Amino acid sequence: MGNLNASVDLRRDGEIAVVTVDNPPVNALKHEVRAGLAEALRQTRADAAIKAVVIGCAGRTFFAGADITEFGKPPQAPGLAEVIAAIEAMPKPVVAALRGTALGGGFELALACHFRVAIAGARVGLPEVKLGLLPGAGGTQRLPRLIGPEKALKMIVTGDPIEAREALADGVIDEIVDGDLTEGAIAFARRVVSEKRPLRLVRDREDKLVAEGFADAAETLTRRLRGREAPAACVEAVRNAIVLPFDEGLKREGELFRQLVAGDQSKAQRHISFAEREAAKVPGIPEDTKPRPIATGAVIGAGTMGGGIAMCFANAGIPVTIVETGRDLLQKGLDRVAANYRATMARGGLAADEMDRRMALIRGVTELDAVGTADFVIEAVFEEMDLKKRVFADLDRMAKTGAVLATNTSTLDVDAIARATKRPQDVLGTHFFSPANVMRLLEIVRGAATAPDALATAVALGRRLSKVPVTVGVCYGFVGNRMLARRSVEAERLLLEGALPQEVDAAVTEFGFPMGPFAMADMAGLDVGWRIRKGRGGRNEIEDALCEAGHFGQKTGKGYFRYEVGSRTPLPDPEVERTIRDTSARLGVARRVITQEEILERMVYPMVNEGARILEEGIATRPGDIDVIWVYGYGWPVWRGGPMYYADRLGLVHIRDRLTLYAERSADESLRPATRLSQLAAQGRGFAS
């Protein structure tokens, strides 16, 4: 009894033993925790005066999973499987008391207990697939026995947790506790004892193990996950639950887990998860820098981005004021926000009262001085320097002292915008991606004068808005778009040299991007760039020819592809092929067959090269920051770990040599390997090592 070790406490409340684990911040199941749990189970089993055991955690959450720093290291006994076996061998009831998030190994431990109670708002889930893994402590065998294979597979393949209310309805938990969780769990355990409820382990239940509907569910859930090992292994493991005896299924689950954990895909996904956490550490900001408090926000401009950004505030429960130039534009913007919420509601993603609550947090005005109360102001007006400077000069007069003034510019010089104010230390960029309420990436642009606490405030706000914030420096296009521009140049060149849009897009989607560059261009619209080029000069031969023929992209039903009415599926267009061939002929470029391998190399390596320059210039802090940007902002397949990680895996010598070849062939000096890339290649090193 008492403290069994630094993380595990065992006490008695009458006949009930209460085991409490305290391993902040999320009660990960590290070795000391497992050892303490095993000892607690040993003592309580031996003590005849104890009639039932409650297992719970201190702090804000039940075990939120394994300790991922132990992955890939030799296992230290007792493993989670042994703790779970000790729970199942217990001749008296064991009750798991859930709060916060019971995830991964934590939820698997709870599944081995005889009973589970939770407070309202607790969530349970098996998110291992998000790290390229499957639940490796019996989750794939126990959950199907508890709620049926179909539902279990959905939870395991999506990795998304469910709320206590849904868990209760599905029979995952036995009771929702009002008031104090531990008290409630103890009371529940007493009732189990006094009512002499039978102790039925999940592993012994067979009644829900029906095969019907499973194959269809597996097909639907994995249709879009081609080439990914973890979801396929999840399907196999859950199918085993139906067809194999429990212990065999468990053994096979362990084998699959070990394969995945040693595989490239999971390593890449773990890299991204780690890089995401690293990205929150910004050089030059001391750890103890206090972010400024944010109670209210303001957004200038109710256009595409402004509306989406305002939704981010409202979704996070932060009141926000949108400022527009006129009543009609404001109303249009607010209507678009409401329509977005209604669409989410129609898909079942939002309750009606929740939509009302969020809309009520958004106030629209036409007078800029309303920003006077806001702690964080985000400007999202047209992409014009003079206009932005005017807006910031006005903000300088109207915003309160200490407010952070952010611009959502995609390309303009944040330092020049900051100089339009007398408080450049409070100015920075918050580069959201479209649709702003959906896309997770937030590039935070640090100006030359940005104060550390202003930057820390932007990072903290980004997290509150459920974004993945990555701090970058000032340059044209910042990190993501600057690299993307290299890909776009190469994509057009591929068309001129012999490829077709569908071939380029196929190489890129085969690689794992959700969309190829030309389908993406069609979605964004080709006319904007064309008009800019017409005004400023510069040509994009094929795209300009397409625009001149009225191919503006999806909105006109034709761009690089053609689209049937009401459909967004890109279809090859013979007219486009003719335009491409004519352009090649006009420019005297001999067309040739281009292999898919070459297409892919030319879609990826020039971006890696630009990434190297970005690192050289200090625009990005770490190669992992660039990887996070590409995964969260541009659909880079997470199981390939981001462009810089991918390059390291291929070897920089190979990338350098191929870039040299392509630079010579195209006479494009920008394709020459960057200094950083060449140096690292010469040293036999990678970007990250």
Positive or negative: CA dihedral 323, 329, 333, 339:
positive
Between 433 and 687, CB nearer to ligand NAD = 433
Residue with Cβ nearer ligand NAD (304 or 670): 304
Cβ pair 53, 44 in contact under 8 A: yes
* Nearest C-alpha neighbor of 318 from the set 185, 464, 215: 464
Characterize the bridge pairing of strands 52-57 and 16-21. Answer: parallel
- From CA 255, how far away is CA 490, in angstroms rounded? 43
Q: Least distance (Å) from ligand NAD to the CB of residue 368?
A: 7
Closer residue to ligand NAD, CB minimum distance, 254 or 525: 525
Closest contact distance (angstroms) between CB of 543 and ligand NAD is 18
DSSP 8-state symbol, 368: G
Q: Please say whether the dihedral angle defined by the alpha carbons of residues 576, 581, 583 and 584, taken in this order, is positive or negative.
A: positive
Provide the 10 A C-beta neighbour count for residue 254.
15
CB 418 within 8 A of CB 364: no
Give the Cα separation of 180 and 324 in Å (integer).
Answer: 47
Give the whole-angstrom CA distance, residue 420 versus residue 160.
45
Query: Annotated catalytic residue: which of 32, 70, 82, 108?
Result: 108
Q: Where do the H-state alpha helices sit in 89-148?
A: 105-112, 139-147
Query: How big is the chain, counted in residues?
Result: 689
Nearest approach, Cβ of residue 577 and ligand NAD (Å): 29
* Among 39, 70, 128, 206, the one annotated catalytic: 128
Give min distance, CB of 257 to ligand NAD, in A.
40
552 half-sphere exposure, CB direction, 13 A CA radius: 6
| Residue 38 CB partners (closer than 8 Å, separation 6+) | 78, 82, 83, 86
Strands (DSSP E) contained in 589-684 are none
443 is catalytic: no
Report the residue number, 376 or 662, with the smaller CB distance to ligand NAD. Answer: 376
Residue tagged 């595990």 (tokens): 8
Q: Closest approach of Cβ 293 to ligand NAD, in Å?
A: 26
- Which residue number, 533 or 591, has a Cβ lying nearer to ligand NAD? 533
Of 114 and 446, nearer to ligand NAD (C-beta) is: 446
The single-letter code of the amino acid at 457 is: T
Using CA of residue 51, residue 204, residue 96, residue 135, what is the dihedral sign? positive
* Complex with ligand NAD: residue 371 or 507, whichever CB lies closer: 371
Q: Is 108 a catalytic residue?
A: yes
Cβ(90)–Cβ(67) under 8 Å? Answer: no
**Smallest distance, Å, CB 275 to ligand NAD?**
22
Q: Find the shortest distance in angstroms from Cβ 325 to ligand NAD.
A: 5
Binding site for ligand NAD (CB under 6 A): 300-306, 323-325, 329, 380-383, 387, 391, 408-410, 432-434
Q: Please identify every residue annotated as catalytic.
A: 108, 128
